[in-house]
């Protein structure tokens, strides 16, 4: 097998130097400060972080090797890569006390093209690593988010919506809205990267 970063032979999806490059791009490493309320990494500890104010946080910036890994993750089914990406989020997730993971659904076009939903695979792998269940209740059809089922064991649980990249936030806010209106809950949003 080869490192997805440099192409050298590697047992892992990334060789140790390339893994180090990805780790160095995490907000936990880039930001020296910690949020005064929740202790998650933030730019300026005078203010509460985006998790506390908007209920949303990303693991790192959408650039460099991480951006390349996310493109690979979208284009092919690679369990080692899914495992690697999920593992990145484990320390951050452990500070959040999640009760249930809900993957933000792939667009209909993306699903048709690939034949699978990459965020569902990611969420299930993260579930396995942190011991918190995944409940895929959402679906995307013709650019609109809908519910697959109305029954969900979510009472008094902290729901985390998972996505790979945060850009405009349109899909995640649509997902939040539908969960809020149907179940009366306000889910949090966690993304691997933010552009």
State which residue, 18 or 66, has the beta carbon closest to Zn ion: 18
Of positions 32, 37, 44, 97, contacts Zn ion by CB under 5 A: 37
44 in Cβ contact with 30 (< 8 Å): no
- Asked if 105 touches Zn ion (CB under 5 A), the answer is no
Residue 55 vs 133, nearer CB to Zn ion: 55
Q: List the beta bridge partners of residue 58.
A: 191
Identify the bridge partners of residue 120 per DSSP, sorted by sequence position: none
Binding mask 47-86 for Zn ion (x = CB under 5 A): -xx-xx----------------------------------
Q: What count of other Cβ atoms lies within 10 Å of the Cβ of residue 30?
A: 12
Using the minimum distance from each CB to Zn ion, give the nearer residue, 97 or 181.
97
Q: Of 62 and 188, which CB lies nearer to Zn ion in the complex structure? A: 188
Closer of 70 and 137 to Zn ion (Cβ): 70
Choose the stretch contacting Zn ion; rule: CB under 5 A; options: 9-17, 119-127, 142-150, 182-190: 9-17
Binding test (CB under 5 A) with Zn ion, winner from 23, 34, 38, 165: 38
Size of the site for Zn ion (CB under 5 A): 12
Which of the stretches 6-14, 73-81, 94-102, 133-141 binds Zn ion when contact is defined by CB under 5 A? 6-14
Q: How far apart are CA 60 and CA 188, in angstroms?
A: 17
- Positions touching Zn ion (CB under 5 A) are 3, 5-6, 15, 18, 35, 37-38, 48-49, 51-52
């Amino acid at each position: 097998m080869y490192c997805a970063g440099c192409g050298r032979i590697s047992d892992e999806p990334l060789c140790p130097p390339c893994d180090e490059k990805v780790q160095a791009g995490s907000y936990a490493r880039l930001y020296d400060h910690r949020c005064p309320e929740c202790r998650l990494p933030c730019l300026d500890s005078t203010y509460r972080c985006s998790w506390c104010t908007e209920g949303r946080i990303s693991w790192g910036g959408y650039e460099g090797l991480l951006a390349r890994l996310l493109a690979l993750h979208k284009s092919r089914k690679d369990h080692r890569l899914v495992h690697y990406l999920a593992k990145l989020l484990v320390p951050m997730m452990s500070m959040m006390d999640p009760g249930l993971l809900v993957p933000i659904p792939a667009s209909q076009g993306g699903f048709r093209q690939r034949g699978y939903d990459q965020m569902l695979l990611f969420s299930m792998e993260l579930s396995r690593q942190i011991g918190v269940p995944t409940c895929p209740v959402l679906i995307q059809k013709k650019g609109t988010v809908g519910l697959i089922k109305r029954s969900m064991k979510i009472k008094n649980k902290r729901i985390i919506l998972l996505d790979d990249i945060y850009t405009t936030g349109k899909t995640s806010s649509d997902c939040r809205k539908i969960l809020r209106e149907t179940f009366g809950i306000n889910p949090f949003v966690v993304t691997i990267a933010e552009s």
